[in-house]
Amino acid sequence: MNEKLYFEDVDIGDEIGPVTRTVSDEEVIQFVSIRDEKVTPSRFTSKEFANSEGLDEAIVPGAMNIALMSQVLTNWSETVCLLKIDVVFRGTVPHNKDLVFSGIITDKDETGESTKLECDIVMENSDGVKLVIGTGIIALPNKP
Amino acid sequence: MTTDEGIIYDRSLLGVENHIGTFKLTRETILNFAKSTGETDPRYIGDENGEGEIVAPATICNIFVSGVSRPDIKLEFGEISFFAGQAIECKAEIRPDDVLSASTKLDNVYAKTGRSGKMVFAVWETHFKNQNDTTVALVTESFVRRNKSR
């Protein structure tokens, strides 16, 4: 994580990441069990169940994917304030495989009325296939 | 039930708020959410001992949205459905011991034609307020129905 980023430090075209990580079976079970104390087999937690729905393997829940996408932005710097994230699910996200997250700044409010920045964000598999794409709006503080 | 641009669904549900629950957000829930998503930011996990002031990651409302049963819009189209996308607007910080109240409404139903044929999107908007009646998050979800590929 960058220590402290300020609005004046960032320009259109600046890159965020890439960050590579995996999501383990245990993390998915822990995520699902936050809401449902008793985790029953589902497409998210059981390969067999996922197979019965025509999926090759258990998948990461959409709600978890958007949390991971937002982390790319909030972990960019401790000063990032996430205002909005908007994602489109393009493909299923597998457990235990490398996922590559990255972003790029696409717009900067130069009016002086806010310190908002817009960015594109993407989650890809190790073959470069886009699994989740989206946009984010963040704010950074002005330099003291 | 009505037809709107060729889409048949229960149009009386459009814009009607449905209360879907009240949720107490404990510090433990926030920490579990952060841990399960591999969070490392001290804003959300506290210090190395898990102590100190924390706030919830902005997407935490999702754990309350997932699995919510919504009214059946009686859409007469398509054989399969899937979760197409989601947007979360973060309006205010969410803190341990906040009590969140959520209501959802059908915001829009529309059709689009892509390479795989016609698809119908149903868009739901879910509004989260805290115990002070402050809106903390607005979650917009799109669900798609389409026919199976042949």
CATH number at residue B7: 3.10.129.10
B34 occurs within a structural domain: no
Mutation test of the interface with chain B: which of A5, A39, A66, A122, choosing the one with the most B Cβ atoms within 10 A? A66
Over residues B88-103, mean pLDDT:
96
- Indicate the residue type of A87: V
- CATH number at A18 reads 3.10.129.10
**Do residues A121 and A138 touch, judged by C-beta distance below 8 A?**
no
A51 occurs within a structural domain: no
Q: What is the mean pLDDT of chain A?
A: 94
| Residue A74 at interface with chain B, using a CB cutoff of 8 Å | yes
Higher pLDDT residue, A126 or B150?
A126
Token pair recorded at residue A31:
């995520």
A86 occurs within a structural domain: yes
Domain count, chain B: 1
B115 occurs within a structural domain: yes
Read off the pTM.
Answer: 0.91
Chain B positions touching A63 (Cβ under 8 A) are 59, 62-63, 65-66, 86
Q: Do A36 and B36 touch (CB under 8 A)?
A: no
A78 occurs within a structural domain: yes
Phi, psi of A69 (to 5 degrees): -65, -40
A53 occurs within a structural domain: no
What's the domain range around B82? 2-25+58-146
Q: Residue A42 pLDDT more than 50?
A: yes
Query: Residue B67's pLDDT is what?
Result: 67
A106 occurs within a structural domain: yes
Q: Do A63 and B89 touch (CB under 8 A)?
A: no
Query: Residue B58's pLDDT is what?
Result: 87
Q: Give residue for tokens 């330099």.
A: A143
Neighbours of A8 (CB within 10 A): 11
Nearest to B23 by CA among B70, B71, B72, B56: B56
Q: Do B65 and A63 touch (CB under 8 A)?
A: yes
| Residue B6 at interface with chain A, using a CB cutoff of 8 Å | no
B47 occurs within a structural domain: no
A80 occurs within a structural domain: yes
Beta bridge partners of B90: B137
Query: Residue B2's pLDDT is what?
Result: 41
Three-class DSSP category at B101: strand
Q: Residue B22 pLDDT more than 80?
A: yes
d(CA B126, CA B128): 7
**Do residues A10 and A76 touch, judged by C-beta distance below 8 A?**
no
B39 occurs within a structural domain: no
Q: Do A30 and B36 touch (CB under 8 A)?
A: yes
Token pair recorded at residue B133:
């009646």
Q: Do B90 and A1 touch (CB under 8 A)?
A: no
Chain A positions touching B47 (Cβ under 8 A) are none
Neighbours of B66 (CB within 10 A): 19
Q: What is the pLDDT of residues B34-81, one digit of tens each?
A: 999 999 899 999 998 888 999 999 899 988 887 677 889 999 998 888
Q: Do A31 and B62 touch (CB under 8 A)?
A: no
A123 occurs within a structural domain: yes
Q: How many CB pairs under 8 A join A and B?
A: 94
- How many residues in total does chain B contain? 150
Query: Residue A2's pLDDT is what?
Result: 67
- How many residues in total does chain A contain? 144
ipTM: 0.92
**Position B3 confidence tier, pLDDT thresholds 50, 70, 90:** very low
Beta bridge partners of A81: A139
A52 occurs within a structural domain: no
Over residues A75-100, mean pLDDT:
96
What's the domain range around A131? 7-23+60-139
- Please report how many Cα atoms fall inside a 13 Å half-sphere around the Cα of residue B80, on the Cβ side: 11
Domain count, chain A: 1
